[in-house]
Structure 1
């Protein structure tokens, strides 16, 4: 293969004894030399059982070093790594397996029940003695004899499937490598950086947002499971983390923790939020402690890193994801397909070498996503007069009520400021008079008390009348997706015929 594509081998040559990966709960540490050797051993094993260039290798596991073993091994032999979302149902996982037809399924024993029809594919258990023997051998010599190009597929990451069947996003060597390079240069990552990966590694946020860029630079990646706010804070300080990506739900749990009020973070330089727009009170909680906090934006099909904003600037532009990173470009187009003006909301378009190649076995969806060389994200955004970008929400989530456009995020940011509110999701439901009706689903703080009329009065002084929800639904807990985002599709299914 081309030497520059096997960058983990080159990093192991440059930083052989530096710690690359820590399995947080177990405390097991792997140097770069050990990490590369493990992937070479796995690559040898894969070729020994007949795996060839282009074959798919699937993994069903919680966050574990095997994600790196298999990704880097696939990179060495030209195979394609397919991490599976273990939070899906068995039926959904079987659909993905049928769609990508892996030659090998690597499996954690804790998820064996999710795969009922294993078919003829080979199986290896990652917590077995067999897998330990495969990865720990010192005698195997790996031979690079396969031709691999930058545009060859390296991974297929499946989307959540909340609006239909999951789509397999094909990421090439180029896609993953350029996301890493772009992130390193734009965010000024160094070998001294340490991150904590709670984001699921079957998701691009867990695998590609910080884990891969920091490994490229020779830093340290701490992987963990079962997020608990106090344990996460402890691990950040114990491992000397410097930059961490979490979703807003996780940050919400952290800032509400009593432990957060008294703890300091002496090694942290950046707290980064992604996956969904972040409530403004989380910015406030970190600012009150003098901590740098900012938002990022990405999607499985692009990056997921696309923007940069200095944390000092984000203090004065709360909610902004910043400007396009050094090696990608963005546009915002209005409903007429023309460049949106300053302050005008339109669809966000992205292009760059970090963007995905195509959807696996789905040319129709690929053609819909790619138009004139640009990826149409389906996300709505706007920019200010200095070029800072703000994500407004999903194009499909925009509510049109009585002919007026309502962006749920703006309404959510307003309601979130109420002291009794824990979380909120704003959706549109069909209505015979207005077309759609604005509805807010709200969970309250443990000691919070609030009525529909109180929330209405609270909103009246902050947002336009047509944006105020016609109905507030109080629930114990708002449903989440497999990556911790509020599941608005589930909420719409639940309430579209029950309110009006």
Structure 2
């Protein structure tokens, strides 16, 4: 392996006894030397199991040390790490496994009830997490020779939904992940004194790439959090002297309403970051009242996910702005006619940089469409003001972001339309203080049949992940349509106010 790509081994040499990882639930910690030894041992074991360069290794787990074990181990031998979204239904997980065809699947002990079904798809499946897994770590031999790796070799593949609802495997090379970390460290002024607690799911790029890997690269400390609550995060920030944290707006909604938030001064915290969806302005106000620095960011699995930087003072003045492009990436806003948007004009966000993704797995057409002209076409819309500060204003398509998760209406519409008593259906996102957006389904039934809401929820549970299941089912006589016969979703949003 080229020495500059195995930065964990180099960091372990520079900071062997510094605490790299802490588990919030058990308070167990691992030094950089210990973390590197674990991943080297897992890498040797993977090679002994016949895992070769380019093979996929998947993981289904809550936030856990096993993410770092397998990610860094795959990096050492040239395999591709595939974290799986545990919030998906069994059917959805099986479809992803059939797409990426992993040689090995790790299933955390918390998901043992799914092990047999998943093992039928990936025969080489193992249980990770818990005492037996940790005991295995002490017995593994980390002496096998590693592979020669280049920057362009894939390191991870993170699945994200497509416009049709079918997940796409976003392939991130060593270069993509390394340059996102470098760009973040330098643009955000991270240091080895920084400590974060990560409640973002580590199957997301936000959980792995937004703060965890940059802070590990610079020699800081990452606390692995799992079950989130307002009380818990306040106590953990105090206990571990956290300096920086990334949460989604739903989490901030719960945090600012907790008594612990009102009582705490957060003396160790430098900055609170929000991502994954636009943040309500009342969150800004809650932090301003306490004199705490708060700001938003913007990114996506295909680029970064870190792309902008804004000073905390500017964030309060220019509420809702994600700031300016970071040090080592470029951003431009493109209008429908292909021309670059001028000041305060809205355009699609296009991003370029070494942190951008390599390609979509088994989907050359989508890759070409997204990476036109060397720019990542995000499908998101923004404007920038006279000083170059960017503001996210919406999405080109009808994607819904609820609790930090991307939901694509067509997938839900297709499933609901297959219900024997449903005639027509349209799914939209409605504003929600807690979730950012909630999923709402407008349904026209056959012969005006009234379907019980609980029946519809149970029906959705058979195919859809929990966060995709509509929180509102609105049965109406007829769906409004445009003059060309398309469902008018704008009118549906207006109708939702009246129902």
Question: Do they fold alike, i.e. is TM over 0.5?
Answer: yes
Alignment partners' CA distance in 1, 2:217 and 2:380: 30
CA contact (8 A) 1:124 1:131 kept: no
The residue number in structure 1 matching 2:24 is 24
Distance 2:382 2:472 in 1: 23
Which position in structure 1 is the counterpart of 2:364? 363
Which digits, 9 at most, give the CA deviation of each residue in 1:437-481, with x for residues without a partner? 999555799xxxxxxxxxxxxxxxxxxxxxxxxxxxxx9xxx9xx
TM-score when normalising by structure 1: 0.81
Pair 1:317 & 2:318 matched: yes
CA distance in 2, matches of 1:438, 1:219: 41
Which residue number corresponds to residue 421 of structure 1?
Answer: none
1:126 aligns with 2:128: yes
What is aligned with 1:201? 202
- In structure 2, the CA distance between the partners of 1:322 and 1:71, relative to structure 1 (3 Å rule), is same
SS of 2:254's partner is helix
Cα distance in 1 between the residues matched to 2:472 and 2:302: 25
- Root mean square deviation, CA, Å: 2.9
For residues 315-394 of structure 1, the aligned pairs below 5 Å read 315-394=316-395
Contact 2:398 2:428 in 1 (8 A): no
After superposition, residues 82-101 of structure 1 pair within 5 angstroms as 82-101=82-101
Stretches of structure 2 that go unaligned for 5 or more consecutive residues are 402-406, 410-425, 436-452, 458-465, 480-491
C-alpha change, 1:188 and 1:442, in structure 2 (3 Å) is closer
Is the Cα contact below 8 Å between 2:322 and 2:391 reproduced in 1? yes
State the Cα distance separating 1:226 from its structure 2 match: 1.1
Q: Distance in 2 between matches of 1:306 and 1:443?
A: 26
- Secondary structure, aligned partner of 2:112: helix
CA distance in 2, matches of 1:7, 1:444: 39
Q: Check 1:75–1:489 CA distance in 2 against 1; reply closer, same or farther (3 A cut).
A: same
**Is the Cα–Cα contact under 8 Å of residues 93 and 114 in structure 1 kept in the other structure?**
no
| C-alpha spacing 1:444/1:99, structure 2 compared with 1 (3 Å) | closer
The answer to whether the Cα contact below 8 Å between 2:176 and 2:356 also exists between their aligned partners in 1 is yes
Give 1:113 shift: 2.6
**Matching of residues 269-284 of structure 1 within 5 Å:** 269-284=270-285
Counterpart-to-counterpart distance in 1, 2:355 and 2:434: 40
TM-superposition CA deviations, 1:400-442 (whole Å, max 9, x none): xxxxxxxx99xxxxxxxxxxxxxxx9x9xxxxxxxx9999555
Partner of 1:12: 12
Q: 1:455-494 maps to which residues of 2 (within 5 A)?
A: 490=470
SS in structure 2 at match of 1:134: helix
Shift of 1:123: 1.6
For the Cα contact (< 8 Å) 1:42–1:134, is it kept in 2? no
Partner of 1:74: 74
Match of 2:34 in 1: 34
CA contact (8 A) 2:280 2:433 kept: no
User: Hey, what's the Cα distance between the residues in 2 that align with 1:145 and 1:109?
Assistant: 29
Q: Does the 8 Å CA contact 2:345/2:383 hold for their aligned counterparts? A: yes
Note the 1:41-80 alignment, pairs <5 A: 41-80=41-80
| CA spacing shift, 1:324–1:443, aligned 2, 3 Å | closer
Displacement, 1:135?
1.9
Structure 2 Cα separation of the partners of residues 150 and 234 of structure 1? 40
Residues 495, 151 of structure 1: alpha-carbon distance in 2 compared, 3 angstrom cutoff: farther
| Count of aligned pairs | 431
How many angstroms apart in 2 are the aligned matches of 1:304 and 1:19?
25
2:43/2:142 contact within 8 Å kept: no
- SS in structure 2 opposite 1:266? coil
In 1, Cα distance between equivalents of 2:302 and 2:428: 30
- Structure 1 residues 440 and 132 mapped into 2: Cα distance closer, same or farther (>3 Å)? closer
> Secondary structure at the residue paired with 2:236?
helix
TM superposition score normalised by structure 2: 0.81
Unaligned runs of 5+ in 1: 399-407, 410-424, 428-435, 446-474, 480-485
The change in CA–CA distance for 1:438 and 1:94 in structure 2 (over 3 A counts) is closer
Find the aligned partners of 1:493 and 1:347 in 2 and give their Cα distance: 32
- On the 8 A contact 2:66/2:129 being kept in 1, the answer is no
- Alpha-carbon distance change, 489 to 141 in structure 1, aligned in 2, over 3 angstroms: closer
Helix, strand or coil at the partner of 1:57: strand
Is the CA contact 2:343–2:384 (under 8 Å) kept in the aligned structure 1?
A: yes
- Cα deviation, residue 103, structure 1: 0.6
Q: CA deviation at 1:247?
A: 0.1
In structure 2, what is the equivalent of residue 296 of structure 1? 297
* SS at structure 1 position matched to 2:397: helix
Provide the residue aligned with 1:307 in structure 2: 308
SS in 1 for 2:233: helix
The answer to which structure, 1 or 2, has the higher relative contact order (CA under 8 A, 6+ apart) is 2
Q: Give the distance between the partners of 2:214 and 2:297, measured in 1 at CA.
A: 15
Task: Determine if contact 1:43/1:142 at 8 Å carries over to the other structure.
Answer: no
Distance 1:298 1:16 in 2: 32
Runs of 4+ in 1 over 3 A off after TM superposition: 160-163, 436-445, 486-500
